[in-house]
Structure formats: C-alpha cells, structure tokens
Amino acid sequence: MDDINRPAGLRQGAQPVDHPTGRAGRIGVLLLNLGTPEGTDYWSMRRYLKEFLSDRRVIETPRLLWWPILNLIILTTRPGRKGRDYASIWNNERDEGPLKTITRAQAEDLAAHLKGIAGDKVTVDWAMRYGKPEIRQRLQALLEQGCDRILLVPLYPQYSAATSATACDHAFRALMDMRWQPTIRVSPPYHDDSVYIDAVVSSMKRDLAKLPFEPEVILVSFHGVPKEYLLKGDPYHCHCVKTWRLMREAFGWPEDKFRMSFQSRFGPDEWLQPYTDETVKALAESGVKRMAIVAPGFSADCLETLEELDVENREIFLHHGGEQFAYLPCLNDSEDGMRVIRSIAERELQGWL
C-alpha cells in the first residue's frame, strides 16, 4: 500500500501510528531457588522470616492461630539468633548469603552453555521465592528483553508444595497481572533423574577420597516437612526415599551404612522422621566414631547445610563420642552440578530451540 492510499492513522507495516513498541521472539530461562535475607541484622532477618513464615504453602496452620505466634513470638526472638547463624556463613566480599552467590554462578554458567547452542536467542536469569531478586521483577525483565517463551526451573530435586509449588505460585501471580502473558513451561522434579543421581554420587566419591578417614556411616539428610503434609498427599517423602535408594544402590552399600534422615524441623508438630540431629546423636552414642553427612536435596549450599549440618550436627556428633566428622558439599556450580542443570534446561527447551 502506498502512502496516498494508506488509511489515516496507519503507518507502513499496517500498524497504528500510536502502536506501542514491543519485543518478542526470544526464549527466557529463569532459575528459581528458595531465598536468603539481604543482611544479617535484626530487621533484614525479620523481613525475610516474615515473608517466609507467612507463606501458606510453608505454614498451613490456620491464620487465626498462627498470626499471634508469628508476630508476637517468632518475629521477636528468632531474627537475632538466625542473624548470628547467617553471619557465620555470610559471603562478606559480596555482602550476600552463599545461596545467592551460588545461584548467580549457576545462571551465568547455564547462560554461557546455552549461548554456545542457540547464540543470543536465549536469556538466562535467576530469582528467589523469598527475598531478592524477586520472581515478579525477573519475569518482567525477561519480557522486556523480548522473551515470549519462558522456562521456569525450580532448583529443588524433590517436589514439595512448600518449595516447587510456592515458587511457581509466585510466578503465576505475576502472570495474572500481565496483559500479554509469555508462554510458560515448568521443569519437573528430578529426584530420580539418572544425570542427577550420577552427579551426586560422583561428587560424593571425589569428596570421600579426599578425607583423611573412611566413614563408618554416611547419612543422607533431606530438609524436613511436617508429617501432616505427607498424609495430605505431598509426594516429597517418596521422592526423598527414592533419591536415597538410588544413591545407595549406586554405592552398593547396605542400609546400616548408608542412612537417611530429615533436618530443620520447626515447631511442636511431628515432622518426617528419622530426625537428623537425633540420628547423629544416636550414631555417636552407639559407638560410631567416623561419619560423613550429605544433603542432596539442596542444589546449593546454604544455612541449612553450612551451619546446621557442618556446625551444629558436627558438634552433636563430637560431643556424644564421635571422633571424625565430614560434611560433603552440595553440587553447587561444580561441573557435576552444572551437568544436571544443563541437562534439565536442554531437555525442557526441546521444540523451542
């Protein structure tokens, strides 16, 4: 159509003169992890804990009962103590928690890997369910870069409503406010993925070979959840047991040498058992002198591994008669860890690349 015959208000390309500009045609990948406070001071910890413990996916206690407990007791006493725990593992150089440092590194590695496959067609970003960077903001940033197809990758090997689901909830709430929603894919849990199991076992074998002793027992510790969640249908316990079984079979060890437990229980309710701290204490009191502990349910080291396992449970073991204790690190952004994340991303991006 030439300018003489073009209807008023249209420009070349048949778009209205006031048509908003937009970008499209790119693919986004958003890594999702749990979160970390912005600082170790009282108010930073309070903000983080309030957001975390106000999540109905995490705490299912009726609000009428939970509100006074949370606001009048927990948020008054817990921030100071947890702040000191975070300070003991804080990345002072970057002034951030180690979970943030590691998740950023994972995203950067994946971005470089996908660039080698798809050039500049894919943008990789990362976000936290609690704290910063916020999921809503990073989704918006991907949209502004022209990503109309986005893959969400929850970095939780075992699915739970309190981890994978709440991260996706947050993303979906952001989508509800968007006029032009991107097409979304969510990567599934990978608790029994052969690449993941092989990576965890390979990493453990290398770390075990570096130890000055041979453990009599290896304890595989997963983050706990209330037992009630299992009874309501959450598959988390089953996913953890399968991960542990596949790891044990890969090592070829009997159950009495390769055990599993659940850590980080909170409050008076019964949680998934056996409990990690009680198991560590019982092992030491039964005469076990050398043990190692690993946490394959975490994709990156954080407070629950670096402080709770490597410090608190080490002290429990040594105090009750144990002599040699080792914590084996998470996969993090190691070559084994990135092999898992790359495999997930490549598989879930099929048909888009």
Place of tokens 């979906």: 172
* N residues, the chain: 353
Main-chain dihedrals φ then ψ at residue 285, nearest 5 degrees: -70, -20
Tokens of 291: 């043990």
* 3-state SS, residue 89: coil
Whether residue 223 is annotated as binding a ligand: the answer is yes
Cα gap 215→163, rounded to integer Å: 31
User: Pick from 214, 247, 223, 199: which is nearest to 326 by CA?
Assistant: 214
Nearest to 218 by CA among 187, 188, 248: 248
Scan for tokens 């309070």, then name that residue.
Answer: 46
Q: Tell me how crowded residue 269 is: count the other CB atoms within 10 A of its CB.
A: 10
144 is in an annotated binding site: no
What span, in angstroms and rounded, lies between the C-alpha atoms of 317 and 323? 8
Q: Round to whole Å and give the CA distance between 141 and 153.
A: 16
Name the DSSP class of 5: T
Take residue 200 and report the two structure tokens written for it.
């965890």
Tokens of 63: 């609000």
Give the count of beta carbons closer than 10 Å to the beta carbon of residue 67. 12
Distance, in Å, from the CA atom of 23 to the CA atom of 21, rounded to the nearest integer, reads: 7
Whole-angstrom distance, CA of residue 309 vs CA of residue 156: 18
Binding residues: 223, 304
**Residues annotated in the binding site for Fe(2+), as ranges?**
223, 304
